[in-house]
Structure 1
């Protein structure tokens, strides 16, 4: 089957969307590709069709565990059974089953961290890997909004797998990120397929509020008018829960849940699936929700708190209106929000005093127990992996623990401290860009997408509140109120403890 026949046979689509066919043709011809498309514009089809057309395994590296599960479920629903995911959600039995059947797979989704494990690389080297897909490719760059140190090792993985055809995919590509990507894959001849990423069906509103109470009341009024699939983003887990409870009390017609990283895996997966299947109407969530979740009919994406940079804002807004119908982004801002976001930035990076403590330990010891150091200084897993990767990449430690003191020079220490300081300054600059884009009197859409493209698409339903768009112009199809309004906790209990009605 050719590309179009493959698309029709497996996915029941009768035509390719913008940009898809050209990428597929290049991949089939063995060309490495860098692709940008808007969030929800069908990037997955660009590697799934070639994977089904060619012999060998397609390896998809992604940091989004929810995307893995969603994509595997989606492909199997279309009758494509030779697909699996390897990640921390796997049970021992599931992982053993995947490894046992690796040779039978066409597509394998895997996290970048797991791909660094010798046992999985050894198994993959025994296979014929045809395509190597790097999803969320901006994670390669230290200037990307979700920098993941393990992405920096993907070039060596490619070499060990005998150089399969490479596809790099992202919805947010700035000049800095692009430069880092090309530097990392400097040995590859990469063809560019860079498309405009703004969506002409999304209208933007910025609502200035005097307090959180005013934000709460605005959301209540909005949801009372619009009963549509809605995601509300927060930077605080505490506020995520508080507002969720507040909305349940004041908008009883809507099925509402909260989602953040402190919930158990099975709780997060259940909430996600309920939202996807229409059993929940509104999700109050931190940025942990929505990564790779393909729900086509989200109509409202609201920001109770702003993220730390425009790239994250674009990703989160892009979860609305994937079916190309009119959808709205609403940002609720107060004068105090910047302080909250700046605290987030401080928590994302290693503090200078932690580095100085690490330097003292490295000077005094012959072996480094990084796990103990991380626990002592209350560092999260991202921080720990950042430290480990930086030390390994500069040959300060070998075999994960032995310290090479001759490499531990004053110049190395000064450079590392300066790197962290520059990263902090860069993060604050990115925050300022976002705040400026949402507080200026210029077109919001143009300000938001300016870092990624030279122009914007003509809006189809109304541009933004600066350009005259008002929420009253929004006329979506409303959801019907459910008769059974169980909470996600009730539904989780039902699944964990089945019961028989008398």
Structure 2
């Protein structure tokens, strides 16, 4: 079958982007595939086109509700009606009806947690799937060990029965993450396509400050003087609120975004940003994945990210239109220690292992630890997963190793901040790649002229669109898109 004909018939394109055809050919031939393609390179086509070739359901395991809804919306815009998201937006009756008719859909989006539900598994085993897709597959390694251990169980479910090929998609992954993806998805000698992680149009800056107040003053002055749209990342929910409030007082259309907000509020804020009603978002790392906004001009990290991979994912949300964009990494004394504290704040330890054993000994449910305020729900999920995998002493060793990995990851970010050599080169090397060519205005260490990258606010052609973001989002949620 000539793939270009299918491409033009269903998607209106006459040629593939780099990597797409190679990946699709391997899938059509029945191979498991790991594909690392930069944001904006059309990863979704790698499973959508096979969906039309095989003409059997494609199961897409996706990490976030907002990402699922966005993907469903995009597919519906291609006039495909047989697409559904099986998630918590459905009430009990809708969920039951969707599962009952699941075999009638061409594209099925689902979260790892929903995938593990018994009724869902029973239905999927009875179906003949053409392809299983794990989108944002780096989450297996970055989230599975941290706060969503169900990611580590995906392979246990997908291995049941006579499974179809598995496609793991991501924009970035280190060699360790690639190994985790292959191992936990139980992939069979996968074909791996790796595109360069470098985004030449994203220029990397950094600034050092003596204290956090000085850093905040710089942010406020910089945002008021330069063009957006942009995202300011910080590690504290309270900081997202306080910084966005200060910007609002200065006349900047902005909003705070974090995991503590109501899911529908988060959807509205995200849609406002996409449609241009908001120029800036101040967010924790809960924001960004699946946000398809082409003209993000700036990414500012108010606090250092927990690891280099997260940093690369977050700055990759800028400049999808191919125009120049600026990624600013800010650092004040003590930021690295705060990052380590945040990384360990909601994580189980040896005391929790002993408590878990004690509850079992008393024939009580270990989950009672949550009700008694002895552990957070997130930390318990991680603990419970490992307590079902290993002997308690081995669990303690595992948690200790994971803690060390978190500390090491922060130190790696600190090395990027402190380096006197090319920051871009160091970033690309972190992912096991070689930088072939440096763009002009490469990074702070190579001499970066900010005025050549970001225009002054009065020169900006930023305009608020006339599209009703609220009406569009309501249509998405009600299924009328």
Normalising by the residue count of structure 1, what TM-score does the alignment of the two structures yield? 0.87
Residue in 2 that maps onto 1:200:
200
Q: In 2 relative to 1, CA 142–466 (structure 1 residues): closer, same or farther, beyond 3 Å?
A: closer
* CA distance in 1: counterparts of 2:121 and 2:143, whole angstroms: 28
Is 1:347 aligned with 2:345? Answer: yes
Is 1:365 aligned with 2:347? Answer: no
Q: In 2 relative to 1, CA 176–4 (structure 1 residues): closer, same or farther, beyond 3 Å?
A: same
Is 1:389 aligned with 2:385? Answer: yes
SS of 2:34's equivalent in the other structure is strand
- Aligned pair partner of 1:451 in 430, 436, 457: 430
SS of 2:192's equivalent in the other structure is strand
* CA distance in 2: counterparts of 1:10 and 1:146, whole angstroms: 39
* CA distance in 2: counterparts of 1:446 and 1:16, whole angstroms: 28
- Aligned pair partner of 2:330 in 301, 314, 332: 332
**What is the aligned-residue RMSD (CA, Å)?**
2.5
Q: In 2 relative to 1, CA 15–483 (structure 1 residues): closer, same or farther, beyond 3 Å?
A: closer
What are the equivalent positions in structure 2 for 1:237-386 lying under 5 Å apart?
237-250=237-250, 252=251, 254-362=252-360, 364-366=361-363, 368-377=364-373, 379-386=375-382
* CA distance in 2: counterparts of 1:33 and 1:483, whole angstroms: 40
SS of 1:319's equivalent in the other structure is coil
Q: In 2 relative to 1, CA 483–120 (structure 1 residues): closer, same or farther, beyond 3 Å?
A: closer
Q: In 2 relative to 1, CA 226–187 (structure 1 residues): closer, same or farther, beyond 3 Å?
A: closer
Residue in 2 that maps onto 1:130:
130
Q: In 2 relative to 1, CA 186–89 (structure 1 residues): closer, same or farther, beyond 3 Å?
A: closer
Residue in 2 that maps onto 1:438:
417
Tell me by how many angstroms 1:15 deviates. Answer: 2.6
Tell me by how many angstroms 1:2 deviates. Answer: 4.2
Deviates more, 1:176-185 or 1:329-338: 176-185
Tell me by how many angstroms 1:287 deviates. Answer: 0.5
Which residues of structure 1 form unaligned runs of 5+? 395-411, 496-502
Tell me by how many angstroms 1:475 deviates. Answer: 4.4
Tell me by how many angstroms 1:336 deviates. Answer: 1.9
* CA distance in 1: counterparts of 2:245 and 2:23, whole angstroms: 46
Tell me by how many angstroms 1:184 deviates. Answer: 3.4
Deviates more, 1:347-356 or 1:332-341: 347-356
Conserved? CA contact 2:82–2:104, under 8 Å = yes
- Aligned pair partner of 1:478 in 444, 457, 460: 460
* CA distance in 1: counterparts of 2:140 and 2:331, whole angstroms: 31
Conserved? CA contact 1:139–1:147, under 8 Å = no
Residue in 2 that maps onto 1:402:
none
Conserved? CA contact 2:147–2:379, under 8 Å = no
SS of 1:129's equivalent in the other structure is coil
Q: In 2 relative to 1, CA 143–482 (structure 1 residues): closer, same or farther, beyond 3 Å?
A: closer
Deviates more, 1:205-214 or 1:125-134: 205-214
Normalising by the residue count of structure 2, what TM-score does the alignment of the two structures yield? 0.91
Conserved? CA contact 1:58–1:129, under 8 Å = yes
Tell me by how many angstroms 1:105 deviates. Answer: 0.9
Tell me by how many angstroms 1:68 deviates. Answer: 0.6
Cα displacement string for residues 39-58 of structure 1 (whole angstroms, at most 9, x for unaligned residues): 33221111111112222111
Conserved? CA contact 1:61–1:135, under 8 Å = yes
* CA distance in 1: counterparts of 2:465 and 2:87, whole angstroms: 37
Residue in 2 that maps onto 1:404:
none
Q: In 2 relative to 1, CA 142–421 (structure 1 residues): closer, same or farther, beyond 3 Å?
A: farther
Is 1:165 aligned with 2:203? Answer: no
Q: In 2 relative to 1, CA 95–432 (structure 1 residues): closer, same or farther, beyond 3 Å?
A: same
* CA distance in 2: counterparts of 1:255 and 1:5, whole angstroms: 45
Conserved? CA contact 2:32–2:187, under 8 Å = no
Task: Count residues in correspondence.
Answer: 469
Cα displacement string for residues 83-131 of structure 1 (whole angstroms, at most 9, x for unaligned residues): 1111223333543453343122111111111111110111112221110
Q: In 2 relative to 1, CA 199–335 (structure 1 residues): closer, same or farther, beyond 3 Å?
A: same
Cα displacement string for residues 175-212 of structure 1 (whole angstroms, at most 9, x for unaligned residues): 22223333335561311112211211100000112233
Q: In 2 relative to 1, CA 255–236 (structure 1 residues): closer, same or farther, beyond 3 Å?
A: same
SS of 1:81's equivalent in the other structure is coil
SS of 2:58's equivalent in the other structure is strand
